[in-house]
Chain A
């Protein structure tokens, strides 16, 4: 099993450009999450999907949109990137929402110039 996979691993954008970060899991988990990690801030939740067909805002949702494409895939879109969105983005999944072990992908390092 690959676990949780993310693409791309690295990305550089100019201010105003858009992009989509992809995440997939092969553990048949119901719930998926997107976090961002900034220096000294720990991880902060952007959006999560408790189950296929549902999405909910986390702590820092502004400037992002998400799509739960199917049970396996959960994408994060930046419509108009800003330098404040420079961060490392992690996708995670768990059996049930917010109640059990979360498994993380390798992360995407995004720089917005």
Chain B
């Protein structure tokens, strides 16, 4: 099956800073999703983005399928952005594979 790798593993920011999280995958995929797990453990789907670019407020994501990576951009970070960001991907007919996540800490 495919492998999903995320970087960096940890990120510390001051409130207001911008950041870029990266997700590399080892083969072509049909499905690529970004999730945020808040400090209370709840997993929230941010983007379903097998290719192209999407934006939702201060967050945006870009997947370059031909080069096997996806990027999650967080602009003007806030303390509520803290938590773990997961990338997950799969090929047709196979289960979603999660990366190990990027832990983001935003301080005021």
The chain B residue sitting closest to A47, CB to CB, is B95
**What residues of chain A lie closer than 8 Å to B98, measured between beta carbons?**
42-44
- Are the C-beta atoms of A59 and B95 separated by less than 8 Å? yes
B interface size (C-beta, 8 A): 23
A58 and B95 form a contact (CB under 8 A): yes
Minimum CB–CB distance for B97 against chain A, Å? 8
For A43, what are the chain B residues with a Cβ–Cβ distance below 8 Å?
A: 86, 88, 98
Quick one: which of B35, B48, B100 contacts A100, CB cutoff 8 A? B48
* Chain A: interface residue total (CB-CB under 8 A): 21
Is the CB of A99 closer than 8 A to any CB of chain B? Answer: yes
Within A73-113, which residues are at the interface with B (CB < 8 Å)? 88, 90, 92, 98-104, 106-107
Kindly provide the distance from the CB of B33 to the nearest chain A CB, expressed in whole angstroms: 7
Task: Select A48's contact among B86, B95, B97, beta carbons within 8 Å.
Answer: B95
Cβ-based interface call for A2 (8 A):
no
Extra contacts besides A42-B100, A45-B95, A99-B92 (9): CB < 8 Å: A40-B100, A59-B95, A90-B43, A98-B90, A98-B95, A102-B33, A107-B41, A107-B42, A107-B43
Closest 7 CB pairs of A and B: A104-B43, A42-B98, A43-B98, A42-B100, A101-B48, A45-B95, A101-B45
B residues contacting A by CB (< 8 A) are 30-31, 33, 35, 41-45, 48, 86, 88, 90, 92-101
